[in-house]
Amino acid sequence: MSLHIAILALQGAFAEHRKMLESLGAEVFEIRQKKDLTLKCDALILPGGESTTQGKLLRELELFEPLKKRIADGLPVLATCAGTILLAKQLADDPVTHFATMPIVVRRNAYGRQLSSFYADSNFSGIDQNLPMPFIRAPQIVDYDAEVELLASVGQKPVAVRYGNQVAMTFHPEITGNPAIHRCFLEKTVIPARKS
């Protein structure tokens, strides 16, 4: 059973996600224009990058409303860094929101310029190993509703959460060379959603 995974490829770090997913046997395609939405899609990847630019391009290319509806209807989503900002229902430092399908509050570039990039190691729920977590000008999840499941934390701060079929993290698992998080997403979110 081949999985068809779409990656939003308007801006940002999408190539690394593609490589990771293809190494796991998934069929991957990139969403760049409206006609790409006609392709069979079992899940969506929202990569890191610049959330304001991604949000602007999503609207200009008429991708925003169709993708928001699919996410709200249960399409599995894996979001990293800027992708998490796109999903957040509220931004702590900006009145503008984007898809707003996940009940979390996110602060953009929360760690400031001096600490804009760092690595941590932590456990991730459902994965039986300590994982490397690179944070690059990372946002921070500052609050989340009770129905949101905490998947990972670093220094008592949440860095990965799940809400229904949406998995969001503030770090970049796609650049670690370790496919554990992508595999976990496919096995525990995408495949069950496809069977239901």
Q: Is 32 helix (H, G, I), strand (E, B) or coil?
A: coil
pLDDT of 1 reads: 60
Quote the number of domains for the chain: 1
pTM assigned to the model: 0.95
Tell me which residue range forms the domain holding 84.
Answer: 4-195
pLDDT tens-digit series, residues 96-142 = 999 999 999 999 877 665 456 788 999 999 998 899 999 988 899 99
Radius of gyration over every alpha carbon of the chain, rounded to an integer in angstroms: 15
Phi, psi for residue 29 in degrees, rounded to 5: -135, 160
Q: In the annotation, is 41 catalytic?
A: no
| Catalytic residue selected from 41, 172, 182, 184 | 172
CATH number for the domain spanning 148: value is 3.40.50.880
| Catalytic residue selected from 16, 41, 174, 182 | 174
DSSP state at residue 189: I
pLDDT of 114 reads: 45
pLDDT of 117 reads: 78
Q: In the annotation, is 172 catalytic?
A: yes
Percent of the chain with pLDDT over 90: 84
More confident site: 93 or 180: 180
